[in-house]
C-alpha cells in the first residue's frame, strides 16, 4: 500500500518547521494527501492553510525532492511517498484543526520525527541547511 502526500519544508535559522497532531507521538512536516483533481501546489496551499492558518505564496514554491519510507504507525509494507516543497508564506504560523503543536526542530530532534522525515533531515543536514 502507498500513501501519497505533499509536504512543506520550511527552514529558518538552521531549523525546520514541524508539527505534531493531536494524540500522535511523532512530529511530521506539515502537509497532507491530495484531494481529487488537485495539483501538488493546490494540495500544499490547502493543507498549510488548514493546519497552520498561513497562505503559501504560489510564486515561491519549489520542489525539494520526493522521499519514500515505511509509514509511521501503519502496518509493515505500507509506504509513504512524500513530495516536498519549499516556499514562502504570508501570515502568522498558528496550530489549527488537528495540529496540537508547532515546533522548529534541529538535527538533534531527528529521533522525534517519522521515518520518511528522518530521510529528509539527513538530506538537509548533508546540504548544510539543518543545524
Whole-number pLDDT of residue 97: 81
Query: For the chain, what is the HEC assignment?
Result: CEEEEEEECCEECCEEEEEEECCCCCEECCEEECCCCCCHHHHHHHHHHHHHCCEECHHHCEEEEEEEEECCCCCCCCEEEEEEEECCEECCCCCCCCEEEEEEECHHHHHHECHHHHHHHHHHHHCCCCC
Full-prediction pTM beyond 0.85?
A: yes
**Residue 30 is part of which domain span?**
2-122
Examine residue 28 and state whether it is found in any structural domain, yes or no. Answer: yes
Report the C-alpha gap between 119 and 41 in whole angstroms. Answer: 22
Examine residue 131 and state whether it is found in any structural domain, yes or no. Answer: no
Examine residue 57 and state whether it is found in any structural domain, yes or no. Answer: yes
What's the number of domains the chain is made of? 1
Indicate which CATH number applies to the domain containing 99: 3.90.79.10
pLDDT tens for each residue of 7-64? 999 999 999 999 999 988 899 999 999 999 999 999 999 999 999 999 999 999 999 9
Examine residue 115 and state whether it is found in any structural domain, yes or no. Answer: yes
Flag whether pLDDT at 98 surpasses 90.
no
Amino acid at each position: 500500500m502507498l500513501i501519497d502526500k505533499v509536504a512543506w519544508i520550511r527552514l529558518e535559522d538552521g531549523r525546520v518547521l514541524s508539527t505534531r497532531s493531536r494524540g500522535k507521538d511523532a512530529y511530521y512536516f506539515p502537509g497532507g494527501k491530495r484531494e481529487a483533481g488537485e495539483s501538488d501546489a493546490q494540495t500544499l496551499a490547502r493543507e498549510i492553510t488548514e493546519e497552520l492558518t498561513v497562505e503559501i505564496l504560489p510564486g515561491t514554491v519549489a520542489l525539494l525532492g520526493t522521499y519514500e519510507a515505511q509509514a509511521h504507525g501503519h502496518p509493515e509494507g505500507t509506504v509513504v511517498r512524500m513530495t516536498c516543497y519549499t516556499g514562502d508564506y504570508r501570515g502568522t504560523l498558528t496550530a489549527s484543526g488537528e495540529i496540537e503543536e508547532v515546533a522548529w526542530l534541529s538535527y538533534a530532534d531527528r529521533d522525534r520525527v517519522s521515518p520518511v522525515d528522518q530521510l529528509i533531515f539527513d538530506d538537509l543536514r548533508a546540504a548544510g541547511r539543518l543545524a
